Amino acid sequence: MNVTIQPGAVAGTVAAIPSKSAAHRLLICAALADRPTRVICPQLSQDIAATVRCLEGLGAQLRRQGEGYEVIPLDRTKPVGTCLLDCGESGSTLRFLLPVAGALGAEATVRMAGRLAQRPLGPLVEQLRKGGCAVTLWEEEKRLTISGQLRPGEYHLPGDVSSQFISGMLFALPLLPDGSRLVVEGARESASYLQLTLRALATFGLTPREQEEGWTIASQGYASPGVVQVEGDWSNAAPWLCLGMLGGEGVTVTGMDLDSLQGDRAVCRVLAAMGGQVRTAADRVTVLPGPRVPTRMDARDIPDLVPVLAAVAAATPGVTEITGAARLRLKESDRLETTARMLNGLGGQVEETADGLLIRGRSHLSGGQVDAAGDHRIAMAAAVASGACTGPVTITGAQAVEKSYPTFWAELRSLGKQVEETPVGP
């Protein structure tokens, strides 16, 4: 599908969608719990659907009811046996549930789509093999198998490759018959995501004991709280807040936890530093235009924000430098390359660096046709950039937003943008 966005200001209010990061974690905990849990999660996405499929593959039952799921946990008294886990393009699903499959002794075939099989997995696979699992990856076939029983013990993972490796082991190790130790080597990047994992575990009664180098994790059951609600998603609120910065009467997002552990809550701080008028009250965040100024930002803890913040920077006179974002080369696309290409295609001046972007901003962009590169974050960033364009913006492959935000284009229309969707192919 292609989308064409006409020039024009935005104004209005958007209700936040459920946090994808929180939804993955709470659904996994619910599937491993001692009794059923109601998980309130009003909107779905392809990534959340992938986690639901895989949890069902492991033996849990997830029934869609109203605005959430009734999760009937898997029966720990019965072996999981042979199963199929279809992760789609969801890195969270793969990295969270691969260790869980090992802890459950499952004999699983894992399917992957898009670039997922090419994304980093080596350090996690190495530790699972060390712990007694047989893991084989066929990258070209986008397939992986795991079998054997993960043993209690000491496990070591790098802190600067993917926090999802660490989260996956934190979910898995309490399931083992004896305690374990998880050591994190080096700096912990995306530390806020680990805090989200620890909070989800605490919601289900698990409290790994944190130490300087990692955690000591007891053998312990997941205890259902009965009902949990998925909080609003700061990553997917960010495009609207960035659009509010680029003109019109501003944009408000409701349903946000202003004290959230989500690292992408930092979008408010960054936009304020770039000259935006940021106002918060109760569960509402509003961003209005202000005189935009360039900045320098370290993206180590906010990698998902880079494309949309780069779109704002491209329309901000002066030089903005983004660093600490080398891991973006290993996402659904090489996001440093695809962000630069997309913004340059709209009249921007963006240069890739080894670990970030150098953006020579101007007061406005021209518009044009750009490709989403199969990446939801690039499609959304192009929509943000349209707010600074004097001409139309056409985005090819715009259906990429369905990975995390299926109603994105409808919400953009609700803010006053003229958006035309054109089907492509059979």
Annotated binding site for 3-phosphoshikimate: 20-21, 25, 162-164, 190, 304, 331
Q: Give the residue numbers marked as catalytic.
A: 304
Residue 319 dihedral angles phi and psi, to the nearest 5°: -105, 120
The pair phi, psi for residue 9, each rounded to 5°, is: -75, 160
Give dist(CA 398, CA 414) in Å, integer. Answer: 18
Residue matched to tokens 């990429």 = 400
Q: 67: which 2 tokens?
A: 């605005």
Structure tokens at 217: 């994790």
Between vectors from CA 262 to CA 257 and to CA 263, what angle results, nearest 5°?
130
Neighbours of 180 (CB within 10 A): 23
By C-alpha distance, which of 420, 10, 26, 401 is closest to 196? 26
DSSP 231: P
CA distance 214 to 183: 5
Where is the binding site for phosphoenolpyruvate, in residues? Answer: 20, 91, 119, 164, 335, 377, 403
Virtual CA dihedral for 323, 329, 335, 338, nearest 10 degrees?
Answer: 110
Which residues fall in the annotated binding site? 20-21, 25, 91, 119, 162-164, 190, 304, 331, 335, 377, 403
Structure tokens at 202: 């605490």
330 burial (CB, 10 Å; 0-12 / 13-18 / 19+) is middle
How far is 342 from 313, CA to CA, in rounded Å? 13
φ/ψ of 23, rounded to 5, equals: -65, -45
Q: What distance in Å separates the CA atoms of residue 137 and residue 230, rounded to the nearest whole number?
A: 33
Q: Identify the three-state secondary structure at position 309.
A: helix
Length of the chain: 426
Query: At a CB cut-off of 8 Å and minimum separation 6, what does 376 contact?
Result: 332, 400, 401, 402, 403, 404, 405
Distance CA 200, CA 191 (A): 15
